[in-house]
């Protein structure tokens, strides 16, 4: 049992941290808030060159054969600088599904160029009526002579506004709420019948509202087996949740450290406000929550690669709950301790606060994960 980073991991963390410090401090994100895309293709291709996009994919899929934990370490560092490029949408969600289920041809067409930083991907799964239930799917794919015709609507699709290729969940059989009958398809962004609306989000990023009206795809665009995608979707969204915990951890850690520095520097009543016990105790509780987040995040990142589905769900739900409760405690108190300037847009604190709130709402919130945890078979065994 060893929690220390390997030498390779330490090198990776150092290089990402250096990138954030020198090339992607929060100011770069600030500029992107006003852009149409919300991030820069140049930065994306550089991430491809540096090998970050392929870290967790097997070598035979064009990756570097690393673990999800390696990817989590990258995300944690990117979270410290609010780096807006679509790592979770492109690498974790859609990329993960293409690597897991894709044929050699599909990987060559859609995964390879993404790993190289030439394209970006999105995963369109959520629907209005679904909340966090992944089996809820009114979008249908009807059989056509040459393949399938997809019709339906997907909401809050991360990078859905800008992706080159979109992995979409559509029902090939069954009723709207059935667990069986879900299939995955890869759709081109410029496919006829696909309308994409750019949707600005609270954290200054963008996502897509996607409408499919008889979008026709060939049979070669079916990803994995027809009708049995649910377990894979759950797998991808779990990894999305673990990734959100990793990025969120970076944001929590960064804002916590900034808060402690501010407590030492800001003076009122002629003394640093960090000398007041009421504030010290709050800072101590924030420290405890930050460490709890980090511990649960590490375990979740490691379990994201576990073939044991129940273990994976247990640890990822645990980390997502801790991020949503403990991580949030840090954010709320950081704003409080910064005082009035914490609620100005000019200061960075509010940007971290908003980003964490968005991460909280993605891939199941704290309540949803607590509920899923109590439904896992082990829960009642009392062990």
Partner 1 sequence: MDLSYTPEQIAFRSEVRAWIEAAMPLHLKRKAEGPGHYEQAEVMEWHKILYAKGWIAPHWPQDVGGTGWNIAQRHIFGEELVRANAPQLSPFGLGMVGPLLIQYGNDAQKKRFLPKILSGEEVWCQGYSEPNAGSDLASLQLHADKDGDDYILNGQKTWTTNAQYAHWIFVLARTNAGGKKQEGITFILADVRNTPGITVKPFLTTGGTDAFSETWFQNARVPQSNRVGPENGGWTMAKALLGHERTLIGGIAESRRWLRLCKRIAAATAVGSSSLLEDVEFRRRIARLEMRLRSLEMVQLRTLAAAQLGRAPGPESSILKLVGTDVEQEITELCMDGMGHDALGWLDSPPEALPEVERGVASLFNYLRAASIYGGSNEIQRNIIAKQILRLPTA
Q: Which is nearer to partner 1, 185 or 368 (CB)?
A: 368
Backbone angles phi, psi at 172, to 5 degrees: -100, -10
Q: Which is nearer to partner 1, 232 or 239 (CB)?
A: 239
Give residues 65-94 in contact with partner 1 (rule: CB under 8 A): 69
Contact 131, 364 (CB under 8 A): no
Nearest distance from residue 57's CB to partner 1, in Å? 19
Considering only residues 272, 347, 357, 361, which one is a binding residue for partner 1 as defined by CB under 8 A?
A: 272
For 91, the token pair is 């690498």
Beta partners for residue 167, in sequence order? 123, 186
Name the segment binding partner 1 (CB under 8 A); options: 54-62, 101-109, 129-137, 279-287.
Answer: 279-287
Q: What is the DSSP letter of 107?
A: I
Q: Which is nearer to partner 1, 73 or 141 (CB)?
A: 73
287 binds partner 1 per the rule CB under 8 A: yes
Considering only residues 63, 79, 126, 274, which one is a binding residue for partner 1 as defined by CB under 8 A?
A: 274
Q: Which is nearer to partner 1, 34 or 307 (CB)?
A: 307
13 binds partner 1 per the rule CB under 8 A: no
**What distance in Å separates the CA atoms of residue 116 and residue 206, rounded to the nearest whole number?**
23
Q: Draw the binding track, 352-371, toward partner 1 (x: CB under 8 A; -: no contact).
A: ---------------x-xxx
**What distance in Å separates the CA atoms of residue 255 and residue 151, rounded to the nearest whole number?**
43
Best CA proximity match to 364, nearest among 233, 197, 176, 223: 233
**277-303 helix and 328-338 helix, angle to the nearest 10 degrees:** 150
What are the residues whose beta carbons fall under 8 Å from the beta carbon of 31, sequence distance 6 or more?
Answer: none
Give residues 239-268 in contact with partner 1 (rule: CB under 8 A): 260, 263-264
Q: How many residues bind partner 1 (CB under 8 A)?
A: 51
Best CA proximity match to 29, nearest among 271, 293, 305, 355: 355
Considering only residues 56, 94, 298, 359, which one is a binding residue for partner 1 as defined by CB under 8 A?
A: 298
Considering only residues 173, 280, 336, 344, which one is a binding residue for partner 1 as defined by CB under 8 A?
A: 280
For 176, the token pair is 């709207």
Backbone angles phi, psi at 101, to 5 degrees: -115, -15
336 binds partner 1 per the rule CB under 8 A: no
Considering only residues 106, 322, 333, 360, which one is a binding residue for partner 1 as defined by CB under 8 A?
A: 322
**What distance in Å separates the CA atoms of residue 342 and residue 272, rounded to the nearest whole number?**
17
Reduce the DSSP state of residue 286 to 3 states and report it: helix
Place of tokens 């852009």: 35
Residues making contact with partner 1 (CB under 8 A): 1-6, 9, 69, 260, 263-264, 271-272, 274-277, 280-281, 283-285, 287-288, 291-293, 295-296, 298-299, 302, 314-315, 317-319, 321-322, 325-326, 367, 369-371, 373-374, 379-380, 382-383
């Amino acid at each position: 049992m060893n929690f220390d980073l390997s030498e390779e991991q330490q090198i990776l963390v150092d290089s990402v941290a250096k990138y954030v410090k020198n090339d992607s401090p929060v100011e770069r994100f600030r500029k992107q808030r006003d852009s149409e895309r919300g991030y820069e293709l140049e930065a994306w291709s550089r991430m491809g060159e540096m090998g970050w996009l392929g870290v967790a994919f097997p070598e035979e899929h064009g990756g570097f054969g690393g673990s999800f934990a390696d990817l989590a370490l990258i995300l944690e560092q990117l979270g410290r600088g609010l780096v807006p490029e679509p790592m979770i949408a492109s690498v974790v969600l859609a990329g993960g599904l293409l690597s897991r289920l894709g044929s050699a041809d599909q990987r060559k067409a859609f995964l390879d160029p993404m790993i190289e930083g030439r394209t970006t991907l999105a995963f369109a799964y959520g629907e209005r009526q679904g909340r966090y239930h992944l089996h809820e799917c009114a979008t249908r794919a009807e059989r056509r002579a040459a393949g399938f015709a997809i019709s339906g609507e997907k909401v809050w699709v991360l990078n859905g506004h800008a992706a080159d290729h979109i992995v979409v969940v559509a029902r090939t059989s069954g009723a709207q709420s059935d667990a069986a009958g879900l299939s995955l398809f890869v759709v081109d962004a410029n496919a006829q019948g696909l309308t994409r609306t750019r949707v600005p989000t609270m954290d200054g990023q963008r996502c897509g509202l996607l409408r499919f009206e008889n979008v026709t795809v060939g049979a070669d665009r079916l990803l994995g087996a027809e009708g049995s995608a649910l377990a894979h979707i759950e797998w991808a969204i779990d990894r999305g949740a673990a990734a959100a915990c990793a990025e969120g951890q970076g944001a929590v850690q960064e804002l916590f450290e900034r808060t402690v520095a501010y407590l030492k520097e800001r003076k009122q009543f002629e003394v640093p406000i960090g000398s007041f016990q009421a504030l010290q105790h709050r800072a101590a509780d924030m420290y405890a929550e930050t460490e709890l987040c980090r511990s649960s995040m590490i375990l979740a990142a490691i379990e994201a690669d576990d073939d044991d589905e129940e273990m994976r769900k247990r640890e990822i739900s645990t980390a997502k709950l801790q991020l949503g409760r403990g991580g949030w405690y840090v954010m709320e108190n950081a704003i409080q301790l910064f005082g009035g300037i914490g609620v100005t847009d000019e200061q960075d604190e509010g940007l971290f606060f908003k980003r964490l709130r968005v991460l909280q709402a993605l891939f199941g919130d704290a309540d949803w994960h607590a509920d899923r945890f109590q439904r896992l078979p082990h829960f009642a065994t009392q062990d």
